[in-house]
Amino acid sequence: MTPKKVMLSAVQPSNRLTLGNYLGALKNWVQLQSQFDCLFFAVDLHAITVRQDPKELREQTYRAIATYIAAGIDPDSVTLFAQSHVPQHAELAWVLNCFVYMGELSRMTQFKDKSAKQGQNIPVGLFTYPALMAADILLYKTHLVPVGEDQKQHLEITRDIAQRMNQIYGNDLFTVPEIYLPPVGARIMSLQNPLSKMSKSDPDPQSAVYLTDTDDQIRKKLKRAVTDSGSEIAYTAEKPGIKNLIDIQAAITGQSPEQITQTYAGKQYGHLKVDTAELVATAVGPIRDRTEQLLRDRSYLDDLLKQGAKKARTRAEKTLGDVFDRLGLIRRG
């Protein structure tokens, strides 16, 4: 039997996860997991590129892992861990920092957006963030990375670094990863400004549905969702608020946006909002409740993280050893 290909992905535990994280990423990990050899982790080292409250960060890291399981990730068949528990990520990131160019990193839109919010003192970690992300992916010879659209540029730079190093050190050094973007849901928009992405770091809590929200909060947020002028329900770029609600429904139900739009012929925005709220509440409710349940058993989560990190370290050390070797560093014992 040929071994399964490797699929890997991660979320930054910088805040509670959102519906965007679920529909753009987690839901697809769950759907694809049985076909792949999977690694999923919480990127706590990425999270500290902007200032975090230490207690909160630890809490959100546990919460992220619990949410993966609550969303349907099978903890017995995938490798789950915290990025900081596998030191090879930071080590390979250093190496990759020596092969990625300032010009390339300066073009990253995430860096431009996030650094604009930092004022004068922009942490260097924010700039070299993509090198750590490339290390996350390349350490495990990953074939497929399921993410939302905002991570596309980071995947491209990862591929560029891999190809660049393969050319110098041999084509079998790194696997050049492919991106998996879902057909719908790759970019869920803010409920308050449908021209910008739904984000866990948005200061306005009304802009996002969090996977911790109660059914009531979900209903209120969707009721208040900013929609567009006019009254006809159409799936078009001119109606970004309506389009977003249809996309949310499509990503949850698996129906196409066109099919959903047809069912609203002659109906009003209010109908669309109410139905979307019910669908979101039905999708999020069980994840929220199961996450809370899992969070009550810290020793289970600690055990899982410990075992996951052990498995990940063995695999990561193999790739890192090979990289060090080819670069001319003396092998460590």
Active site residues: 114, 197, 200
Q: Report in angstroms the alpha-carbon separations of 321 from 38, 88, 95, 263, 274.
A: 22, 10, 12, 57, 55
Closest CA to 290 of 30, 114, 101, 84: 30
Shortest Cβ 165–ligand TYM spacing (Å): 17
Q: Is 319 in the site for ligand TYM (CB under 6 A)?
A: no
CB closer to ligand TYM, 56 vs 232: 56
Q: Given candidates 37, 38, 40, 46, which one binds ligand TYM under the rule CB under 6 A? A: 46
Q: Given candidates 37, 44, 136, 213, which one binds ligand TYM under the rule CB under 6 A? A: 136
Q: Report in angstroms the alpha-carbon separations of 250 from 63, 71, 177, 247, 275.
A: 27, 18, 27, 5, 12
Q: Is 148 in the site for ligand TYM (CB under 6 A)?
A: yes
Closest CA to 323 of 134, 173, 161, 162: 173
Residue type, 36: F
Q: Is 139 in the site for ligand TYM (CB under 6 A)?
A: no
Q: Is 202 in the site for ligand TYM (CB under 6 A)?
A: no
Q: Is 198 in the site for ligand TYM (CB under 6 A)?
A: yes
Place of tokens 């509670």: 16
DSSP 179-194: EE--SS-SSPBPSS-T
Listed ranges 93-101, 144-152, 219-227, 305-313: which one lies at the site for ligand TYM (CB under 6 A): 144-152
Number of H helices, E strands in the chain: 14, 5
The CB density around residue 332, as the number of other CB atoms within 10 Å, is 8
Q: Give the 3-state secondary structure of residue 2.
A: coil
Residue type, 39: L
**Cβ atoms of residues 263 and 250 within 8 Å:** no
Q: Is 222 in the site for ligand TYM (CB under 6 A)?
A: no
Q: Is 25 in the site for ligand TYM (CB under 6 A)?
A: yes
Listed ranges 116-124, 142-150, 216-224, 308-316: which one lies at the site for ligand TYM (CB under 6 A): 142-150
CB closer to ligand TYM, 23 vs 284: 23
Q: Is 243 in the site for ligand TYM (CB under 6 A)?
A: no
**Cβ atoms of residues 108 and 69 within 8 Å:** no
Place of tokens 């911790």: 212
CB closer to ligand TYM, 185 vs 270: 185
Sign of the alpha-carbon dihedral angle for 25, 30, 31, 37: positive
Residue type, 139: L
Q: Is 11 in the site for ligand TYM (CB under 6 A)?
A: yes
State how far the Cα of 172 lies from the Cα of 93, in Å rounded to an integer. 19
Q: Report in angstroms the alpha-carbon separations of 34 from 66, 255, 286.
A: 19, 22, 21
Listed ranges 145-153, 262-270, 295-303, 324-332: which one lies at the site for ligand TYM (CB under 6 A): 145-153
Q: Is 252 in the site for ligand TYM (CB under 6 A)?
A: no
CB closer to ligand TYM, 9 vs 88: 9
Q: Is 181 in the site for ligand TYM (CB under 6 A)?
A: no
Q: Given candidates 6, 43, 66, 78, which one binds ligand TYM under the rule CB under 6 A? A: 43
CB closer to ligand TYM, 227 vs 244: 244
Q: Is 64 in the site for ligand TYM (CB under 6 A)?
A: no
Shortest Cβ 267–ligand TYM spacing (Å): 26
Q: Is 133 in the site for ligand TYM (CB under 6 A)?
A: yes
**Cβ atoms of residues 309 and 86 within 8 Å:** yes
Q: Is 287 in the site for ligand TYM (CB under 6 A)?
A: no
Q: Is 93 in the site for ligand TYM (CB under 6 A)?
A: no
Binding site for ligand TYM (CB under 6 A): 8-12, 20-21, 23-25, 43, 46, 133, 136-137, 145, 147-148, 150-151, 154, 186-188, 197-198
